[in-house]
Amino acid sequence: MEAKRRIKLISPRMSLRPMDSRLKTQMAPPLALLVLGALTPPEYEVELADENVERIRHDDSPHLVGITVKVDTAERSFEIARQYRSRGVPVVMGGIFATGCPQRIAPHADAVAVGEGESLWPRILKDLAGGRLRKFYRSTGPVDMAESPVPRWEMIAGKNYLYPNTLSISRGCPWRCDFCYKSAPNFHAGYRPKPVPNVLAEIESLGTGHVMFVDDNFIGSPRYTRRLLAAMRPMGLTWHAAVSADIGRHPDMLEAMAETGCRSLFIGFESVNPVNLASCRKVQNRAELYDRTIAAIHERGIMVNASIVFGFDNDTLAVFGDTVDWLAERRVETMTAHILTPYPGTPLYARLQREGRIIDFDLGHYNTSRAVFAPSHMSPGELEAGYLGAYSEFYSWRRILQRVPADARQRAAFTLFNLFYRKFGMATALLGRAGLMGSLGRLGRIISYPRSRRFGAWLRALRSVRESLKETAPQPGGESSHA
């Protein structure tokens, strides 16, 4: 019998920011590649190789290599592609950077996928079988989300992720913020969710009552979100999501979120300065409503993870301290901060390039921790120092104690994130690298959320940690740790 043709899908090693530990690299699997796996016909053998959780070899010879590319992983992607192409293995590149800047990808790949995989992957495989790969594959329109399959979860069996229980239920965004790739020309405008029955099936496929929605905006269509929440109500879930800052204008939806098990929301506040928000077309954000929104979320026992951006044209050196003060006074549980980053292909990049303000073209520095452009009211060095200082201050002991949630339901998760992810993330990551990442994630979820506090669940999690420790412990007569 003829051997199956082999396809290798690669997620390149991501770059780490100064405040990140290895926990970030092992956070969650690359869903886009799992969807491609589900789209691959059975006559192919398909493998996922994720450099973020495992050592992978590049000296093998599959029939096709597919690489998902982000801006900060581009140079690593090019190196991997070079190794395979030098031996005659064809390489196709896709992902957010390939879609945003296909011409910059083209010299490094045999084919570039511009757009969404559901419409492109079957055409690529057909041409591969016929020995006639084209240079560019472009989607002609937005994908019907009913055609997006459940990710092929078996591809991550045995891989060491903190949160393997992630899902994406939509594409696109109703907003067009000028620093976001969704505002770039090759991305389809508008918000497109999956049919509610498909989402329920995908939740069930995870086999757990704790899920994380990783969409850019869980409330991109309030009408759809209300229908989904009604369908989720009997499932008894604990869940987390990212939403736009206008969630506060929908108190009924916020109430339904709490009732269906929502326990934290990632919100792109970006800035407390209305002028900054207007300058980047963040029209859905109204700074004067932030206080009311945060209070309404906290009243329902839900944590807030605030996304903050530093480096807007109206930011001065005072912005760092003022922002940390503002967040701490409102007991915002966690902060994810970024330096304003003009991703190539976005309207922000085009504007700053016209103004001659792009000063760093190293793609590896486009990970939101470096000042790759000249700010208006400070130097690039001051922007980077202020950004790092804001992180250090926000996660200082004084600020952590100041931000302890008033609602007891939030305190366990608050403590785990602030201490074991941020404060002592390096130490926690060492346990994760010993093969315990999945066990740590399960134990953390049980500690954090009352729905999971059952004796049997505790026992299973503790047994999993114990067995993993046995497997990674040196055996008598085995290799010395000093070898």
On whether the CB atoms of residues 150 and 203 are closer than 8 A, the answer is no
Question: Model confidence over 133-177: pLDDT tens digits?
Answer: 999 999 888 899 999 999 999 999 989 888 899 999 999 887 777
Question: Model confidence over 307-320: pLDDT tens digits?
Answer: 999 999 999 999 99
Q: Please, which residues bridge with residue 170 across strands?
A: 193
Distance CA 220, CA 210 (A): 22
On whether the CB atoms of residues 300 and 269 are closer than 8 A, the answer is no
Q: Could you say which of 3.40.50, 2.40.128, 3.40.190, 2.30.29 is the CATH number of the domain covering 5-138?
A: 3.40.50
pLDDT of residue 468: 56
pLDDT of residue 470: 53
Distance CA 65, CA 143 (A): 23
**CATH architecture for segment(s) 165-403:** Alpha-Beta Barrel (3.20)
DSSP H helical ranges for 189-250:
196-206, 222-232
- Round to the nearest angstrom and report the end-to-end CA distance of the chain: 44
Distance CA 68, CA 281 (A): 29
Distance CA 66, CA 367 (A): 22
Contacts of 275 (CB under 8 A, 6+ apart): 314
**DSSP characters for 362-393?**
-GGG-SSSS--B--SSS-HHHHHHHHHHHHHH
pLDDT of residue 396: 96
Q: Please, which residues bridge with residue 51 across strands?
A: none
What is the number of other CB atoms lying within 10 angstroms of the CB of residue 295? 12
pLDDT of residue 45: 96
pLDDT of residue 457: 44
Distance CA 452, CA 387 (A): 37
pLDDT of residue 432: 64
- Given a cut of 70, the residues of the chain with pLDDT beneath it are 1-2, 281, 283, 285, 431-437, 450-483
Residue in this structure with the two tokens 């979320």, named with its chain if needed: 297
Domains of the chain: which residue ranges? 5-138, 165-403, 425-472
Q: Is 267 helix (H, G, I), strand (E, B) or coil?
A: strand
DSSP H helical ranges for 403-472:
411-415, 425-431, 437-448, 455-472
| Structural tokens at position 233 | 């109500």
> CA triplet 254, 256, 258: central angle to 5 degrees?
75
Distance CA 64, CA 5 (A): 9
In degrees and rounded to multiples of 5, residue 91 shows phi and psi of -125, 130
Q: In what order do the strands lie in the sheet with 64-68?
A: 44-50, 5-11, 64-68, 91-94, 111-114, 136-138
CA 275 from centre of chain: 28
Please name which of 107, 116, 97, 96 lies closest in space to residue 135, comparing C-alpha atoms.
Answer: 107
pLDDT of residue 64: 98
| Structural tokens at position 312 | 């807007």
pLDDT of residue 459: 37
C-alpha distances (whole Å) from 403 to each of 19, 262, 330, 363 are 19, 20, 8, 36
pLDDT of residue 272: 85
Whole-prediction pTM: 0.87
